[in-house]
Amino acid sequence: MMSTQDAYYIPHKATWPIAATLGLLTSLAGFANYLNGNAAGSTFMLIGLGIFILMLAGWFTMQATESETGMYNRGVGISYRMGMMWFIFSEIMFFAVFFGTLWYTRNLSVDWLAGIGEGPGRSSGLLWPSFEAVWPTNGPGNVGGEYEPMGAFGLPLLNTLLLLTSGVTCTWAHHGLLANNRSQLIKGLAATVGLGFLFVGFQALEYMEAYHDMGLTLGSGIYGSTFFMLTGFHGFHVCVGAIILSVVLFRSWKGHFTPENHFAFEAAAWYWHFVDVVWLGLFIFVYMM
């Protein structure tokens, strides 16, 4: 009874990884050329991205097929779950860099620029005599010119509500899956994906407002840098999460997943909750404080 299915599935060759590597290498080399002002750069970037997207589609189709044909036993499922967990941990560390940057500038370096907390014999207070340590700031050089800081209550608050609701619908879908209630699974996932893309839409609106009406850009000193870097990387992760959930939605509609076997759903849900928590951090530390 535990004969073949009990064995840990070890694939005997892999062709997608080399495609992934070539795709990523081409697109990054293209992007670097584009940044250096080389006209051909963007073409290579798009070709590389195309290869990468095809690779993703091919590799994940293969994984889904293998999973649905019962090639993965419980042990394989545990490895995949550990893989996803530690991948999310690496993402947390990536965001920690930018949160740390925000903390360091707000609490240490901006003060030092204004001469606060310096010991005797230091000079920044003399270098920038008129600079005062307030947040938000675009620095003593008034880099990027006048701007208006982004408020918390308006689109960002609405987006917070949207994302929190999507966390609830995602969990509701999970309960549906565990109870073998396919319509609840599909409805819950569809609502999550919809809310996710709505979030991205509103954030695009917020960015347009910042650039066109408020003078707030990536170049608006340290405030603009940290604001757009944090919210931008988060927005990118929301897009990725929503695409992953869309694939899971499609697979649910095709009849994939059982209450016992649904790693892809779990991984997508974990990722989504991670993106959700990062947003809460952003809302508190970037928008409110």
Partner 1 sequence: MSAVTAEHDHDEHHDHGPEKGFLRWIVTTNHKDIGTLYLFFALAMFFVGGTMALIIRAELFEPGMQFVTPQFFNSMTTMHALVMVFGAVMPAFVGFANWLIPMMIGAPDMALPRMNNMSFWMLVAGVMMLASTLFMEGGAPASGWTLYPPLVLQTGAALPFAIFSVHLLGISSIMGAINIIATIFNMRAPKMTLMKMPLFVWTWLITAFLLIAIMPVFAGAVTMLLTDRFFDTSFFDAAGGGDPVLYQHIFWFFGHPEVYVMILPTFGIASTIIPVFARKALFGYSSMVYATAAIAFLSFIVWAHHMFTVGMPLSGELYFMYATMLIAIPTGVKIFNWTATMWRGSMTFETPMLFSIAFVVLFTLGGFTGLMMALAPIDFQYHDTYFIVAHFHYTLVPASVFILMAGGYFWLPKWTGNMYDERLGQLHFWLSAVSVNILFFPQHFLGLAGMPRRIPDYAVQFSDWNMVSSIGAFIFGFSQLMFVYIVVKTIKGGTGEKVTDEVWEGAAQHSLEWTLPSPVPYHTFATPPENIPTEHY
Name the minimum Å distance from CB 28 to partner 1. Answer: 4
Name the minimum Å distance from CB 20 to partner 1. Answer: 6
Q: Tell me whether residue 97 or residue 284 sits nearer to partner 1 (CB atom).
A: 97
Name the minimum Å distance from CB 165 to partner 1. Answer: 29
Measured at the alpha carbon of residue 67, what is the angle toward residues 270 and 163, in degrees to the nearest 5? 20
Q: Tell me whether residue 110 or residue 238 sits nearer to partner 1 (CB atom).
A: 110
- DSSP designation for 260: S
Q: Tell me whether residue 16 or residue 172 sits nearer to partner 1 (CB atom).
A: 16
249-259 burial: b if 16+ Cβ within 10 Å, else e: bebbeeebbee
CA pair distance 279, 150, nearest whole angstrom: 15
Q: Tell me whether residue 7 or residue 208 sits nearer to partner 1 (CB atom).
A: 7
CA pair distance 255, 168, nearest whole angstrom: 23
Name the minimum Å distance from CB 108 to partner 1. Answer: 8
Q: Which residues contact 283 (CB under 8 A, 6 or more apart)?
A: 152, 156, 157, 160
How close are the terminal C-alpha atoms of the chain, in Å?
Answer: 60
Q: Tell me whether residue 5 or residue 180 sits nearer to partner 1 (CB atom).
A: 5
Is-contact 249 186, C-beta < 8 A?
yes
Q: Tell me whether residue 62 or residue 198 sits nearer to partner 1 (CB atom).
A: 62
Rg from Cα positions in the chain: 23
H helices of 3-123, in order, are: 16-35, 41-68, 74-104, 110-113
Name the minimum Å distance from CB 113 to partner 1. Answer: 6
Q: Tell me whether residue 29 or residue 49 sits nearer to partner 1 (CB atom).
A: 29
- CA torsion 25→26→31→36, rounded to 10°? 100
Is-contact 19 55, C-beta < 8 A?
yes
Q: Tell me whether residue 223 or residue 265 sits nearer to partner 1 (CB atom).
A: 223
Name the minimum Å distance from CB 184 to partner 1. Answer: 32
Name the minimum Å distance from CB 48 to partner 1. Answer: 11
- DSSP designation for 123: -
Name the minimum Å distance from CB 216 to partner 1. Answer: 13
Cis peptide before 136 (omega within 30 of 0): yes
Q: How long a stretch of residues is the chain?
A: 289
